[in-house]
Each structure stands twice: as C-alpha cells, then as structure tokens.
Structure 1
Amino acid sequence: MKRLVVALSAALLLGACGTAPETSAQVSDAKAVVQADGKFNDTDVMYLQMMVAHHEQGLEMVRLAEKTAKRDDVKILARAVDATQSDEVTLMKSWLTQWRKPTTVDHAPSAHADHGGLPATGPEEIEALRKAKGAAFETAFLNLFVAHQHNAVEMTQVEKTGGVNAETKAFADRVHDSRTDQIKQMLTMMNA
C-alpha cells in the first residue's frame, strides 16, 4: 500500500512540474485518485475537517524545522512531511468540496466533545518551538512532532470505526501506517 501511495505521489508530482509528458491515462489516474465517490456520512466529513486542521498545524511545525533545524536528517524529514501533508490537505479539501461541505472545522472544544475533542498542538507549544535554537530546537521539534503525529494516528480510529466512505477509510489507513512509521523514525532520531 505504501508503495502505491509513493508511486501515485511521484506520478502526480512529475506530471505537475512538467518533467514528464502527461498522457490521458495519467490524467484519468489522477482524477481517480482525488475522487471520493460513493456515500459518506458525518464521521467522514468530521474526520477530513479535523485532519485538515491537524495537517495545517503540522505544516506550521515542519516549515519551522525546514528553516531552523541544523541536522540534515531533521531537515529531510521536515521537507518530506511538508510535501506529503501539503498534497494530503489538497486531497482532503477536494473531497469536502466535492461533497459540498466546509473545508474548515469548528475549533470550539464543545463541538468535538462526543469524539474526545479536537487533538491539537497548542499555540504555546508552537511558540516555544519558534523560540528554541540549535540542538534545543531539534529536540523540541522531534518531541512535539512525535506527539502531533501520534494524535493523527489516534484520529484515524474515528474514521475507521465510524466512517462509511471507502476512499476516506483507505486514506485513514494510509495516515495510520505512515504516521506510525514516522513516529518510529523520529524516536530513532531522538536517540541518535
């Protein structure tokens, strides 16, 4: 499954930057990738809205790491996450738009009480990360981002147990697996 996601991402990136000629089959495949046809329910919508917000927080953190980190492995991880999550935000918003649903989530804590609340990295934590420098930044980033990606893994359970849209459930599976792998990678990096 991971190879399929990587292959699809590579094909989309190559087609988008003009380095490979676009064929009608590639256009058709790209359209198939971004469609979330079939029935959907409130859980599918809520999951995507929450993940858009979660991803946008993650993007804020990795973009700080791209600029501030000194370690090459941290910078490489940040760039990879930036590329992946930027594409995923576009995909999720396209599905919500296709369903004629808002692409943003209600940030009021009471709006998400039924499913354990909206997992979030607080503004204080991001501000502390902004102020950290050198090795302290990398330690803070890795610790914060492990927790952030753990929240993404937990959020997939909501979709996997309550969602009905096949594409959204498959997306949740991919998020679960890729973020679990990222967490393992970052834990190894923390002990390096």
Structure 2
Amino acid sequence: MKRFPLAVVASLTVLLTGCGAGEPAAPDAPPPAPEAEVVTSADHNDTDVMFLQMMVPHHTQGMEMVRLAEKQATRPEIKDLVAAIGVTQADEAKSMAGWLAQWGKPATADPDAGAHADHGGLPATNPEVIADLAKSTGTEFEGKFLNLFTGHQGAAVEMAQRELKQGASGPVKELADRIVKSRTGQIQQMLTLLGQQ
C-alpha cells in the first residue's frame, strides 16, 4: 500500500514540475513521441499491410495462370482478356511492393494460415490444381482456366472489399477500389465466355 501513494506522488511531482515553472519551452525542442506515432499510423494501418502482403502472392499465382492461358488458350477473346489482366496485375504488383518497401514491411505475409484468420485466411489456389490446369489443352484447358480464374478473381474482390472497409491508406484503398471494379468486370466476362463453350 505504501508504494502506490509514493508512485502517485512521484507522477504528480513530474507533471507539476513541467507545468508550474511558467518558463517557455525551448523553441527547438522535439515534438513528443506520441504525436509522431499518430502521424505515422494515420498513413497506413495493419489492414493495409496485410492486404498488400496477401495480394502480392495472389498476383504471383494469378500471373502463373495467365502465362498458361497465353500459351494454351485458343479463343481470341480469352487471349485478349489474359493479355489485359497481365498488364494490369504487373503494374499493381509494382505499386504494392513499393508501398510495402516504403513502410519497411516484408513483401509477403506469414505463411501460417492461422495467422490470417482475422483477414479471411490466405486465399491461394492449390498448386496441384494449377499443375492439372497446365496439363490440359484446348477446350478442356479453357473451361478449367475460366472456372479457376473466376474463383481466383473472386478472392481478390473479397480481400479488396475488406481493405475498403478497414484500411487507412488512401492510395491502397484506391487500389482496392480499382481491384473490386476490374475483377468484377473480369468475372462477368469469364462467366459469359464459359456460357459460350
């Protein structure tokens, strides 16, 4: 019991010493640390970081499927679609890696899926499914690709919607908004192409 009052007295002494002197603070005194932390945290938050760290490998896996489609698809509509997707995702990947580097964060998230339960988990396509896709040809390949990539882009929409609700970085949220709009359009286009098979 004696330590608690002593701690209170010590705290009050420190506070009153700083306030009671009436002398102006030195003009070149650095700002207090909490204010600097507020400025930094207003720039981005953990949701922004996690979104980017989850999207980087998601884009990498998407580009793997796009490269397969560039080689193995035969319909011009699919080739045109994957060419556009490839350009878009390459540009997005550069931006995402740049923000993470600027913030001093690793480019990818913890591979432990349990670490991402609050973020919806790591939305990855099973590598065995991609390997099976790579072995397919012709119409079979196109059907598998369109089905697989529709789900892949749907996962991107879900991650981007979470970023829009919980993120803090203006530029990252703008990217998330573009992802929602572009991927939703791509999904509709792929469903139309599936219906034409």
User: Which interval holds the TM-score relative to the shorter structure?
Assistant: 0.7 to 0.9
Show the counterpart of 2:71: 67
Pair 1:88-2:92 in alignment: yes
Letter in 1 for 2:118: D
Letter in 2 for 1:87: D
SS state at 2:94 partner: helix
Pair 1:120-2:150 in alignment: no
Show the counterpart of 2:49: 45
Listed as ranges, the gaps of 5+ residues in structure 2 are 1-41
- The superposition leaves residues 106-127 of structure 1 with CA deviations (integer Å, 9 ceiling, x where unpaired) of 2211111122211111111101
For 1:51 and 1:187, how far apart are their aligned partners in 2? 23
Aligned length: 155
Structure 1 segments, 4+ long, off by >4 Å, are: none
Pair 1:185-2:189 in alignment: yes
Show the counterpart of 2:169: 165
For 1:159 and 1:116, how far apart are their aligned partners in 2? 11
How far the C-alpha of 1:105 sits from its partner, in A, is 1.8
Mapping of 1:2-41 within 5 angstroms? 39-41=43-45
Pair 1:107-2:111 in alignment: yes
For 1:122 and 1:150, how far apart are their aligned partners in 2? 15
How far the C-alpha of 1:163 sits from its partner, in A, is 0.6
Show the counterpart of 1:4: none
For 1:116 and 1:179, how far apart are their aligned partners in 2? 18
CA RMSD of aligned residues (A): 1.0
How far the C-alpha of 1:79 sits from its partner, in A, is 1.0
Show the counterpart of 1:142: 146
Query: TM (normalized to structure 1)?
Result: 0.78
For 2:154 and 2:129, how far apart are their aligned partners in 1? 16
For 1:145 and 1:127, how far apart are their aligned partners in 2? 14
For 1:183 and 1:93, how far apart are their aligned partners in 2? 25
Show the counterpart of 1:28: none
Q: Which structure has the greater CA radius of gyration?
A: 2
Letter in 2 for 1:108: D
Query: TM (normalized to structure 2)?
Result: 0.76
Letter in 1 for 2:109: V
How far the C-alpha of 1:157 sits from its partner, in A, is 2.0
- The superposition leaves residues 13-32 of structure 1 with CA deviations (integer Å, 9 ceiling, x where unpaired) of xxxxxxxxxxxxxxxxxxxx
Listed as ranges, the gaps of 5+ residues in structure 1 are 1-37
